[in-house]
Structure 1
Amino acid sequence: MSRSINFIKGFIIPIAGGLLIAILIRTFLFSLVKVDGYSMEPNLHNNERILLLKTAAIKRNSVIVFNANGVDGTTTFTNDKPTYYVKRVIAIPGDTVKYSKNGTLYINGKKQSQSYITKAQRVNETLGTTGLLGKGFTLSSIGEHENWPTTYYKVPNNKYFVMGDNRLKSNDGRFWGLVPKSKVTGVAKAFLWNPHHRLINNYK
């Protein structure tokens, strides 16, 4: 009897405790996820494994993962299974957005560098896919042009404006609007062996 108790105390309980801790960490703190698609190239690649921090603060230029069901109005989802997108946060609550015809991004009137993508991506690939090449956009103008469900002057509370880094191949906020905070599952972090990890993890 004592051997059974010692076995339970010395083997079963530590394993069960470790499993419980692992489940709690995965549920509430972080997990590994896989990039599906090409919308964040060249900074993140299709099938690349990334770390998802579930409680990290969302800031401008954070790369986030969110459930696109009910957000992406241009795509028809055939069931209730979540479909996750990986995109970069361009604007946070309270921000105004102006994207000029020459590919310059202004947030609250302040120029942003966008050095994480090329000049061609900033101009032709950002504006050409929306039919706004040579025009540029604001939140309200692109909302009207792309028939968002709601148009905005600035980003409201608990919402984010996002774009993919590979803007020629990215189905993002330019086409369907803003991401509710409730749909965000976490902030993505690339591993150090990704040569572009600083553009994902620490870009300001």
Structure 2
Amino acid sequence: MKKVLSFIWNWVVPIAIGVIAYLLITTFWINIVTINGDSMDPNLLDQQKVVVQKTQNLKRGDVVVFDAREEDPRIKAGNKDYVKRVIAVAGDTVQYKDGTLYVNDKKVDQSFISTDEQNAGTASSFGSSWSLQSLSSTGLWKQDDQNKSVVPKDSYFVLGDHRSVSNDSRYFGFVSKKHVVGKIHVPFWYSTTVKDNIAKENQHYFA
């Protein structure tokens, strides 16, 4: 009997505690995900592993993971989650003009991406000047998001850092807060340069 109790105490209990702790952490706090694709290049690379913090308290500049099956009506088969950067939050206006991105009529510091991505990449299929109103009137966006001039309540406007290849809010509309999985954090084993680039827009959002 003593051997059985000793076995339970020394082996079964620690393993059970570990499993429970793992489930609690991955369900309610953090998880590890692998970046799939180049839409956040060069700040997040294809197949790079990152930490996702499960939080609903998001700010402009945060990089987030969300369930794209609920947001992108033209999502490719086999895809599930997208990783993008929050550009605007509820109540914000967004406008792009000749290489400059504005949120609430204030210029956004985009030094975290190349000049080419700030210009041609952001213009992409939508020309050298666009706004939420013009994007939401293209017919590409989800029905509920069409003909909007400001970001709706509990929603976000997101863009990829690699604008020329990114499938983001320009193409499918706003991301609902309830579909956000969490906020990206770059693990310690990546270079300081990469981590600084991820945080840069959040620290210096407006020029």
Out of 125, 132, 140, the position equivalent to 2:127 is 132
Gaps of 5+ in 1: none
Q: Distance in 1 between matches of 2:40 and 2:158?
A: 12
In the alignment, is the contact (CA less than 8 A) between 2:160 and 2:168 conserved in 1? yes
- Stretch moving more, 113-122 or 6-15: 6-15
In the alignment, is the contact (CA less than 8 A) between 1:146 and 1:175 conserved in 2? no
| Aligned twin of 2:164 | 168
In the alignment, is the contact (CA less than 8 A) between 1:130 and 1:174 conserved in 2? no
| Aligned twin of 1:145 | 138
Give the length in aligned residue pairs.
197
| Aligned twin of 1:199 | 197
Percent identity between matched residues is: 36
Q: Distance in 1 between matches of 2:65 and 2:122?
A: 21
In the alignment, is the contact (CA less than 8 A) between 2:112 and 2:200 conserved in 1? no
In the alignment, is the contact (CA less than 8 A) between 1:190 and 1:201 conserved in 2? no
Q: Distance in 1 between matches of 2:108 and 2:126?
A: 22
Flag the 1:109–1:131 CA change in 2: closer, same or farther, 3 A. Answer: closer
| Aligned twin of 1:94 | 91
Give the SS at the match of 2:70. coil
Normalised TM-score (structure 2): 0.89
Q: CA deviation at 1:203?
A: 3.3
Q: Distance in 2 between matches of 1:202 and 1:120?
A: 18
- The runs of at least 4 consecutive aligned structure 1 residues that moved more than 4 Å come to none
Q: CA deviation at 1:118?
A: 1.3
| Aligned twin of 1:21 | 21
Flag the 1:103–1:184 CA change in 2: closer, same or farther, 3 A. Answer: same
Let me know the Cα RMSD of the aligned residues.
Answer: 1.6
Matches within 5 A, 1:42-191: 42-55=42-55, 57-75=57-75, 77=77, 83-100=80-97, 102-127=98-123, 129-133=124-128, 136-145=129-138, 147-148=140-141, 149=143, 150-191=146-187
Gaps of 5+ in 2: 203-207
Cα deviation, 1:101-129, whole Å, max 9, x if unaligned, reads x21111111111111111111111110x2
Identify the structure with the greater helix proportion: 2
Q: Distance in 2 between matches of 1:118 and 1:6?
A: 61
One-letter amino acid of the structure 2 residue matched with residue 94 of structure 1 = G
Q: Distance in 2 between matches of 1:94 and 1:114?
A: 21
